[in-house]
Structure 1
Amino acid sequence: MAAVSSTSTIQLQDLERPPTPKDGSLLNTEGHRLGSEDDATGGLPAPTTTATVVQRWNHPSSNLFRVLSCFWSMLVSGANDAAYGALIPYLETYYNLTYIVVSLVFLSPFVGYVLSALLNNHIHLRWGQRGIAVLASACHMVAYVIVSQHPPYPALVVVFILAGFGNGLSDAGWNAYIGNMDHANEVLGFLHACYGAGGVISPLIATTMISKGNLGWWTFYYVMLGLAVIELTWCTTAFWTQTGAVYRETVRHSNSDSGTGLRTALFKRPYARVSWLSAFFLLAYVGTEVSLGGWIVQFMIQVRKADAFDSGMTSVGFWLGLTLGRIVLGFVTPRLGVKLAVAIYIPITMALELVFWLVPQFYVSAVAVALQGFFLGPFFPAVVVAATRLLPRHLHVSTIGFAAAFGGSGAAILPFAVGALAQAKGVQVLQPVILAFLGVMLGLWLCLPRIGDKRENDFESETHRHLSIFGWKKAFRFGIHQQANLERLQELGFLVALPVGFNLRIHTPPGYIRHRLIVIFATARRAAEQQIKNERRSQIPVIMVQLTEVEDEHFQSGQAGPIEDDAEFTDTDSEISADSDYDPRDESFAERIYALKDIVPPTTRGWISNKIDFGVSAVQNTWYYSSRTVWVVCATALMIGVPLATCWAEDQQLEGMEREFRMREAGGDALLAAGESQEGSTADQIGLALDRAEAKPAL
């Protein structure tokens, strides 16, 4: 049969050219958060980028009420932490404790911080910020009720674990909440200024009540109980609508392609670098802060020979400087850049620490301590800002919670270590320890990645870096050479940055120059990319395609090989088994048992399978959390129980030695009295001196 062919012609139409973005639309483009996804063109951000909605502290209006409640909660936390240092001399006298034993009040909150780090993200996912508000405030309130009853010292140490748990929850929750707001650096400065304000009023009130009012040290916790009741009412009312469902919806978009929780933040690159560096930095920082605020009173009393009230006012000055530093430097830090500003503050603090250490004058030491607090103030907000800018949003609570808990361990371990060293070498060891930890903080901070602005994309961040290091002219040349089509960029007005830069450099501050140049670079670059893509699409040629249909000339020919009707013809279909070929005797016992599943309907089997999976998951979760609980209990026993037992044994030994010494003194006095007076025997005189009855003969 002759071959059949046909030909048809199809004309491919030109693609419609997308509209070129107008000049006016360029200024409306906004950058995206660092670490967001880029397009496939060389890892560069897409020309049109969706901006993340950033809330303000006063918009919507409900945010103002919530932010103020966060401020109050941090004030309670600061008052709680600062009270330890002011109460140390009185606890030492009331319970008759040594330096090591009284230092346990710094160590016990560490356990609470660890528990908060493990449970913070789960509480957010389950109950949202409402759960944080209720649990943190309730922990404070219950702890203060017990402490106000001045229980035995071991019970006091255990109760402070509960207060540490509340502090850990509020630290992570409120820092992550405010760290995602617009102007986060400034608002976080006020947040931590409230923490410092609590640190100011707490030693002031405690010292005045005890030294001037002649009240017991535990009466101060009646004041703390009132603050905690206000915290519970205010925070619960403010965050009542912020349930777990609201929080899960908030982080859902950020968690589109990666895991969530503490494990991702700590063990997945590149998040792990930021998480661990932030945690170790806060470990050194919070330890330094609490050690200075906690031991400064004892240092001033013993080394500078000041009285108790003046020494307490020194602690007030430190916390007041911390508060003012967080407010004032909160506005300076964004102007300098977060990383550069902290890199400047740390050496200044080290210089002030040297003055405090080497100049043996009370007033010089008091001023140096207050200035140290001023420059230490912005460190915690700076770490929170760094974490929120370098990490995606769904990891903020986990990372900040872990870093705060790690920092809480610094607040427990470092003051305890200072107390142990003070027991052996004297309280003057405080200064070299603080200086060493300031050096560690500087090294850790310099290891963090570059911290750009929240609204910058990758290209803008790199331009920002060149502006900061080389100046705006070299940064401009960098922006030019990064593009593939220089002529196209010139046509689009990218070179307008040059005269604009000259004009801005003469008439405006450097910060505004940097901001405007970044906007010009970014908008021109996006417009260039979009126009180049549009031109490539419009240059698709018209292609004439000729299709020819050809029929195979061998299609009608016979099949080579055996014919299906032959007796010896076989194919693969004949080898497929059928029910007629099934022999039950070939079935194994296991196959017969497995076939019994068909007795149960599929829906019932699915229900049973789900229940089994739920049971296995429940057992795994129970084992997971119980093992962690056992670990916390064992760690608590090792870190608190062993020192307590050791100190109790030492106290018993000292009491025995004192009792023996008193008996020897009494015996010596009795012997002398017997020598002077011959009334009665020597045994009778000794018995009367030891408050016993007169010696009588046995018979």
Structure 2
Amino acid sequence: MNPLTQSQKIKRNYALQLATVFVGFIIFGFSENIKGPAIPRIQSDFGIDEMQLGTLLSLNSLGYLIACSFTAYLTRKLGIKKVTLAAFGSMAFSGIMIYLSRSYPLFSTSYFLMYIGNGMLEIALAILGARIFVRNTGTMMNLAHFFYGLSSTVAPLIASGLMSVSLFGHTVDWREMYLIMLALSLIPMIPALFSRFAGDETAPEHRVPLTTLIRDRGLWLIVLILSFGVISEMSVGGWLVNFLEKAYHWNVTAASGMLSMFFLCFSLARLLLGPVTDRIGFTLSLILLSGFSGLCTFIAIFSGEHGAIFFALAGIGIAPIYPTVMAVIAKRYPNESDTAITFIVTMMGIGSVIGNYLIGAIIDGAKGLYDAGSQLGLVRGLQAGYAFIGLCAIVCALMSVLLYVFLKRRGQLL
């Protein structure tokens, strides 16, 4: 049997790298967005209110943040391959722990561990993308993140579907659903195991130190853009089903269907708009798309139940924000992308912790302005919390305008 030529080896390795990244984003989408249908049942089982739910999501975002803070260090010490395998493994293990949890403290700990794995995986996949996608960066970043949107589209439907299945006379509950879905993390470990990942050998003298990076105003603008954009994006998975069920009395199937519509728009935007971001520029794309998302969110809130489709249409604008920011980082910081990504995503994680907490606090605070126990109070509280999600998208657009001006004045527009 003839040995593979060097060109064939490179192509095979690239295919394995793509499989790791693309399937990794599929798993990431599942793990992040099966919580929508599960949250009302988690609340019911453990007897927690919206404020406690917001606190739970914030603490889990803290786990995500902690993972982001140490993943780049592990990458430099162990290499991206071992870190990627560890991320997938920890997510699978967290599924077992969630399944075994029968008390709220154990559940919180297990959920926290899942977010540790999510944080490690996000940094690892972002670093891989920055190293692999050196041409047509916007298109390839959006394509990679399209697989996140694709799995996010079906995740709520799969989750709600699993929780209605009877096996041996027993209906699958949310714990077993998490066990099944997180066990899928073992699949992308196969291409990762057989891949060779370049970039770990970059010499220290070719890297710009973090102390120099944090003096760059552009870096801080990118932090703000990503933070507000991700709060707006990720909050939908946690709050939209809850909003539709409690404000409009939709059943779980209909509410999960609207969440899936959001992620359908979300995934199609990442599939189709990547070439647009390459063509018109990354920074201008951020302005237009985040502004569109914020506008759709406010239309959905103020038009009532009949305008609920605009919750889904907001996914068109918010979807390309994260991958487009990753493309900006890959182009602006080519030799220190791992350091820049880790710092930016860690700062973004702080924003996510605050954002999830604020949504829960805003809902409870707005309910208190009315009769907190009435349906009107609940609806006004949920509307106020969701308005904060739309406001974050608008602020993301405003920060993108500032980045556009900053880069254009320096002749560095991307």
1:90 aligns to what?
41
Query: Does the 8 Å CA contact 2:318/2:393 hold for their aligned counterparts?
Result: no
Do 2:266 and 2:315's aligned partners in 1 also have CA atoms closer than 8 Å?
A: yes
Alignment of 1:411-560 (within 5 A): 411-424=352-365, 425=367, 426-448=381-403, 462=411
- The Cα shift of 1:371 comes to 1.1
Q: How many residues align?
A: 386
Query: Does structure 1 residue 370 correspond to structure 2 residue 321?
Result: no
Corresponding letter in the other structure for 2:109? V
When residues 126 and 299 of structure 1 are mapped into structure 2, their CA distance, relative to the original with a 3 A threshold, is same
Aligned-residue offset at 1:101: 1.9
CA distance in 1, matches of 2:283, 2:44: 44
Which residue in 2 is equivalent to 1:508?
none
- Equivalent position amino acid for 1:446 in 2: V
Equivalent position of 1:175 in the other structure: 126
1:399 aligns with 2:340: yes
Q: Within 5 A, what are the aligned runs for 1:96-107?
A: 96-107=47-58
1:97 is paired with a residue of what secondary structure? coil
% identity of equivalent residues: 20
Q: Partner residue of 1:256?
A: 205
> Per the alignment, in what secondary structure is the counterpart of residue 305 of structure 1?
coil
> Do the aligned partners of 2:27 and 2:151 also contact (CA within 8 Å) in 1?
yes
User: Is the 1:186–1:330 Cα contact (8 Å) retained in structure 2?
Assistant: yes
Q: Give the root-mean-square deviation of aligned CA atoms.
A: 2.6
State the SS of the aligned residue for 2:249.
Answer: coil
Q: Distance in 1 between matches of 2:45 and 2:334?
A: 49
Paired with 1:349 and 1:114, the residues of 2 have a C-alpha distance of 25
Match of 1:309 among 230, 253, 277: 253
Distance 1:62 1:450 in 2: 40
Alignment match, 1:285: 229
Q: Secondary structure at the match of 2:149?
A: helix
Structure 1: distance between partners of 2:404 and 2:333: 11
Task: Kindly provide the CA deviation profile for residues 565-608 of structure 1, in whole angstroms up to 9, marking residues without a partner as x.
Answer: xxxxxxxxxxxxxxxxxxxxxxxxxxxxxxxxxxxxxxxxxxxx
The separation in 2 between residues aligned to 1:411 and 1:319, in whole angstroms, is: 19
TM-score normalised by structure 1 residue count: 0.52
Q: 1:179 to 1:248 in 2, by over 3 A?
A: closer
In the alignment, does 2:165 pair up with 1:165?
Answer: no
1:311 Cα offset (Å): 0.8
Tell me the alpha carbon deviations over residues 354-396 of structure 1, each in whole angstroms, 9 at most, x when there is no partner: 210111134x31x212211111111001111111212241x21
- State how 1:53-452 maps to structure 2 within 5 Å: 60-180=11-131, 181=133, 182-211=135-164, 213=166, 214-238=171-195, 241-242=196-197, 247-249=199-201, 251-252=202-203, 255-256=204-205, 259-260=208-209, 262-266=210-214, 269=215, 272-362=216-306, 364-365=307-308, 367-393=309-335, 395-424=336-365, 425=367, 426-448=381-403
Q: Deviations over 1:80-126 (max 9, x none)?
A: 11122221111111112111222334122323233223322221211
Q: Is the 8 A contact 1:284 1:437 kept in 2?
A: yes
Q: Deviation of residue 330 (structure 1)?
A: 1.0
* Alpha-carbon distance in 2 for matches of 1:297, 1:248: 42
Larger RCO (CA within 8 A; separation ≥ 6): 2
Larger Rg: 1
Structure 1's unaligned 5+ residue stretches are: 1-55, 453-457, 469-699
- Mapped to 1, the partners of 2:91 and 2:137 lie a distance apart of 27
Letter in 2 for 1:228: S
State the TM-score, normalizing by the size of structure 2: 0.86
> In structure 2, what residue type is equivalent to 1:276?
W
In 2 relative to 1, CA 132–449 (structure 1 residues): closer, same or farther, beyond 3 Å? farther
Q: Is the 8 A contact 1:176 1:396 kept in 2?
A: yes
Give the 3 Å change call, closer, same or farther, for CA 233–257 of structure 1 in structure 2. Answer: closer
